[in-house]
Amino acid sequence: MDLSQRFGFLVNELGRLYSQQFDRRANDELGLTQAQCRLLVVLAAHDDEPVSQADLAHKVGVTPMAVAALCDRMAAAGWIERRPHPDDRRVNHLHMLPKARKALQQAMAIGDELTDAVLHGFSAAERRQLVALLGRAREGLLALGSEGARA
């Protein structure tokens, strides 16, 4: 059975291969894994509002236990810090440290370089079209998810 022309297979395989390359480069160049970079992206997007570990787990798409372990390692390495919630001692808010901000910029550059290498044979118009089509496919999946929530 040839799966090479099936949308689900191609998207999954592309994501897996891209993730492996990004993870290898981010680890070699920054000492961060892809999961740690995703965590930093979420923290950066919520820079002006506190984020709890539970919120972070939901936004990154991992279990609360996994995000706790990730945060433990990142706090110990000086990437992030936990600050106690002013009203609830069971909750810690997470904040990026300056070292992490610089690393996030470098991680974004790694992603840009990897994308350029992967799409080197594509014209600028083809790149825009590919991103637009993938965005529409994403919207279709998100719509399916919200329909399931209403059912």
Encode pLDDT of 13-47 as tens digits. 999 999 999 999 999 999 999 989 999 999 999 87
Which CATH class, in words, describes the domain spanning 7-145?
mainly alpha
Per-residue pLDDT at 134 exceeds 80 = yes
- Determine the pLDDT at residue 72: 92
Q: What pTM does this model have?
A: 0.81
Note whether 44 and 104 are within 8 A (CB): yes
